[in-house]
A and B are shown apart, each in its own frame.
Chain A
């Protein structure tokens, strides 16, 4: 279906949906009784007595309504970036300068009751061949928080892989314009950002021992075939039978220091065929030949170890990650998978730091490294090292500007298709990238 035909109808449905979401809780609250306090538990949050209503009065309807309105939130952002690189095209056709680096998001969160919340985010992006401005629900969920130590979300939920995977779209929420691409590759956004299913989560206070923050999830990922760029093969069907994983973060007794591990396992099944084209003699007509379909299965296990320290205006983060990938094909003629690639382990890591010098100025820097296969570390095509420095200017409370320079060695994360189908081993090994980005948000 053409994208443009669907948009007006989609917008109308969204507007109706948002109005309904915003008005329904307010209407519902008109019929609710005020919350009655329950008996105190053993948790030492008070001195033991049972609280009563404030000042001896029942809370009025207007107070309850005000609570709901104050806790319903509409947020959004618009980002526009510019990429300019030397040597190689990266993420977009950046050698000649590219504005194909845009993000737009609008989200709403509404408390339906004391424990139940719903939220959704409409998101659109363009990053080189990815996105192409097609709007879709980035996440949506129903969130039931029974206790602080146990809650459940169902819907399409951001994947908590590492420290920043679930916020990688949000320019305003980080210092770097581009997160370290070894651990948070923008090209893999569709595979890594969100899953549709359920998630259990909680925060467990360990008193003097700090706290544990856990998230565990299972579901699937619905992939858009149009979002597979630069693939010489035709993918006819692409499914993710399962994705499951979790993240456990320990908030140490040292305020601001947290360490943790996360893992995600998923299977990707595809039906693939190869297409060749020939020109008939004496004619300009091209004849396409499709091979018989083959099935390809990919088992992936992604693991990340994380450390973050925030104190005052200082921020430091380091992560180490390994991705274990197994690939199988039903027909080596259609989709050849060399034995050396049937099982591969990639290594990814970065260290990143920033310091907010003034409320409006925050410089930062990071080093990020990638080895596509730990068994083959030599050669520019098997690695990529990225040294980045960022200057973030918060021009107002709702508008920021970032200037970021990268010096990169290696071509391991580049896309041949975006570099005129040259082999990665022949691309420029030392190259630079300049990123300019501005974001407005509320």
Chain B
């Protein structure tokens, strides 16, 4: 067991550093909570994809690229919004059940170990709609207020 009193000094020093930083960070939480109250989102696919609904867990696996093929064996092409998007934050929390930062960390692990690369990101929701409408394997999400003409809206089970 650890008995050296110098250890206590180290922990005391860590407390001096950690506690003020934690308090400072907690003060910024209300801003983060406000940020999360963004408009809801819808899942969209190419209209050629005859899907009316998808299971949440399956959707999460698709966007984490654990499931990469439609039932007809063609490839699924998920697309993401940029990391600062409120819609992405909402999607990430509700579907992937982890924060955008955690998801980006997941992709960093994947990229730098050579396993896979993340879905392409678009800054604009209209770009997501345009990409999904053009690509038969594509699936994306946009805010409920976005014009999704040219795509198919998929319900979440």
- Closest-by-CB residue of B relative to A43 is B71
Option from A37, A40, A148 in Cβ contact (under 8 Å) with B67: A148
Query: Which residues of the other chain, A, contact B145 by a CB distance below 8 angstroms?
Result: none
- Closest-by-CB residue of A relative to B52 is A47
Report whether A38 and B61 are in contact in the complex, using a CB–CB cutoff of 8 Å. no
Option from A169, A385, A391, A432 in Cβ contact (under 8 Å) with B112: A169
User: CB of A422 within 8 A of chain B?
Assistant: no
User: CB of B58 within 8 A of chain A?
Assistant: yes
User: CB of A91 within 8 A of chain B?
Assistant: no
Query: Which residues of the other chain, B, contact A409 by a CB distance below 8 angstroms?
Result: 1-2, 4, 7
Query: Which residues of the other chain, B, contact A139 by a CB distance below 8 angstroms?
Result: 113-114
User: CB of A107 within 8 A of chain B?
Assistant: yes
User: CB of A312 within 8 A of chain B?
Assistant: yes
Query: Which residues of the other chain, B, contact A148 by a CB distance below 8 angstroms?
Result: 66-69
Option from B71, B83, B109, B150 in Cβ contact (under 8 Å) with A45: B71
User: CB of A345 within 8 A of chain B?
Assistant: no
Report whether B114 and A45 are in contact in the complex, using a CB–CB cutoff of 8 Å. no
Option from B14, B29, B49, B61 in Cβ contact (under 8 Å) with A211: B61
User: CB of B21 within 8 A of chain A?
Assistant: yes
Query: Which residues of the other chain, A, contact B7 by a CB distance below 8 angstroms?
Result: 407, 409, 430
Option from B11, B25, B60 in Cβ contact (under 8 Å) with A407: B11
Option from B25, B54, B72 in Cβ contact (under 8 Å) with A51: B72
Report whether A47 and B51 are in contact in the complex, using a CB–CB cutoff of 8 Å. yes
User: CB of A101 within 8 A of chain B?
Assistant: no
C-alpha gap A38/B58 in the complex (Å):
21
Report whether B70 and A51 are in contact in the complex, using a CB–CB cutoff of 8 Å. yes
Option from A38, A86, A430 in Cβ contact (under 8 Å) with B73: A38
Report whether A441 and B108 are in contact in the complex, using a CB–CB cutoff of 8 Å. yes
Query: Which residues of the other chain, A, contact B66 by a CB distance below 8 angstroms?
Result: 148, 203, 211, 213
User: CB of A170 within 8 A of chain B?
Assistant: yes
Chain A 346-359 per-residue mask, 1 if CB under 8 angstroms from chain B, else 0:
00000000001111
A139-B114, A211-B66 as given contacts; A45 in contact with B58, CB under 8 Å: yes
Option from B22, B98, B102, B113 in Cβ contact (under 8 Å) with A166: B113
- Closest-by-CB residue of B relative to A166 is B113
User: CB of A133 within 8 A of chain B?
Assistant: no
User: CB of B75 within 8 A of chain A?
Assistant: yes
Report whether B75 and A114 are in contact in the complex, using a CB–CB cutoff of 8 Å. yes
Query: Which residues of the other chain, B, contact A71 by a CB distance below 8 angstroms?
Result: 117, 120
C-alpha gap A43/B2 in the complex (Å):
56
Query: Which residues of the other chain, A, contact B21 by a CB distance below 8 angstroms?
Result: 361, 363, 391
Task: Report the contact-size class of chain A (Cβ under 8 Å from the partner).
Answer: 35 or more
User: CB of A313 within 8 A of chain B?
Assistant: yes
- Closest-by-CB residue of B relative to A213 is B66
| Residues 100-135 of B at the A interface (beta carbon under 8 Å) | 100-102, 105, 108-109, 111-117, 120, 133-135
Report whether B25 and A357 are in contact in the complex, using a CB–CB cutoff of 8 Å. yes
Report whether A55 and B48 are in contact in the complex, using a CB–CB cutoff of 8 Å. yes
Report whether B13 and A46 are in contact in the complex, using a CB–CB cutoff of 8 Å. no
C-alpha gap A63/B113 in the complex (Å):
29
Report whether B14 and A405 are in contact in the complex, using a CB–CB cutoff of 8 Å. yes
Query: Which residues of the other chain, B, contact A141 by a CB distance below 8 angstroms?
Result: 114
A70–chain B nearest beta-carbon distance, Å = 4
Report whether A432 and B51 are in contact in the complex, using a CB–CB cutoff of 8 Å. no
B107–chain A nearest beta-carbon distance, Å = 9
C-alpha gap A126/B58 in the complex (Å):
42
Query: Which residues of the other chain, B, contact A331 by a CB distance below 8 angstroms?
Result: none
Chain B 8-26 per-residue mask, 1 if CB under 8 angstroms from chain A, else 0:
0011011001100110011
| Residues 67-87 of B at the A interface (beta carbon under 8 Å) | 67-75, 77, 83
Option from B22, B51, B83 in Cβ contact (under 8 Å) with A397: B83
Query: Which residues of the other chain, A, contact B22 by a CB distance below 8 angstroms?
Result: 357, 363
Report whether A358 and B25 are in contact in the complex, using a CB–CB cutoff of 8 Å. yes
Chain A 65-78 per-residue mask, 1 if CB under 8 angstroms from chain B, else 0:
00100110101010
User: CB of A394 within 8 A of chain B?
Assistant: yes
Report whether B136 and A359 are in contact in the complex, using a CB–CB cutoff of 8 Å. no
B15–chain A nearest beta-carbon distance, Å = 9
Report whether B112 and A255 are in contact in the complex, using a CB–CB cutoff of 8 Å. no
A358-B28, A361-B25 as given contacts; A46 in contact with B50, CB under 8 Å: yes
A73-B117, A391-B21, A430-B4 as given contacts; A51 in contact with B98, CB under 8 Å: no
Kindly list 7 other residue pairs between chains A and B, CB separation below 8 angstroms, not including A47-B51, A71-B117.
A59-B136, A169-B112, A203-B67, A205-B61, A358-B32, A359-B101, A407-B10
Which 4 residue pairs across A and B have the least CB separation, nearest first? A430-B4, A357-B25, A49-B50, A45-B71
Cross-chain pairs A/B with CB under 8 angstroms, 6 sampled: A38-B74, A54-B133, A54-B135, A63-B134, A71-B117, A358-B25
